[in-house]
Amino acid sequence: MEFSEYLKLLGAILTSIGGATFVIIGLSKWFGDFLSKRLLDNYNNKHKSDLEGIKSKYQSELEKTKTDLEKAKSQFIRYSEKQFELYNDLWKVLLYTKHQADELWASAIPEKIPAFGEQIKLTRDAIDDNLLLIEEEHYEKLLELITQFDQFQFGKTKLIDIRHQPVDGRESISMEQARETINQNKKTKETFDSLLMEIGQSFRNQIKG
């Protein structure tokens, strides 16, 4: 075989090998790109599925929270309306009780004592019947106010008893007792007047929110 023929054969071999190499390289690149794309698509699909699951979960929780908030809002509105009505009615009862105390202070006569005592009972019942809607601090002050009303009633009853003693029995000590009772009744009245105004202000603040 001539040298020139060896060169042609070598060139053919190299050409053959070179073409296969390019084909292999090309296939490798295509296959690598294909695998990368498949892996990326799988990751994206899984990621998207996970995100949808998370989104669905939080959407459900959000809807439940919104529903709970709406219920709480509705209950709060009903509670506020009921409490406003209660405080308004209770304030009227307290004022009427105070007006009766004022009349008893102006004129301590036996006929007024039973009506005043009955009014105190009605006030106490109104407080107890609506205990669940009355704020704790208000309830304590209302009980204190009832105590002051009771003391005022007792003082007025005592004063009436002293004043209606037989003339012969009115010793100087009885007159002194009358003055002391009047002074005590005055202090008691000033106390429940002040307490009533304090309660009224706290009621107003409660209603305003």
Cα gap 121→102, rounded to integer Å: 17
Question: What's the pLDDT at 117?
Answer: 92
SS3 93: helix
Mind listing the pLDDT tens digit for each residue in 166-205? 655 545 557 777 788 888 888 888 888 888 888 888 888 8
pTM of the model: 0.56
Whose structure tokens read 């002194």?
A: 176
Residues 209, 86 contacting (CB under 8 angstroms): no
Question: What's the pLDDT at 206?
Answer: 73
Instruction: Domain ranges for the chain, please list them.
Output: 3-208
Is 203 exposed, middle or buried (CB count within 10 Å of its CB: 0-12, 13-18, 19+)?
buried
SS3 52: helix
**Regions of the chain where pLDDT drops below 50:** 3, 7, 14, 22-24, 27, 170
Question: What's the pLDDT at 176?
Answer: 78
Question: What's the pLDDT at 47?
Answer: 66
- Neighbouring CB atoms inside 10 A of 150's CB total 14
Cα gap 58→54, rounded to integer Å: 6
Mind listing the pLDDT tens digit for each residue in 107-117? 878 888 999 99
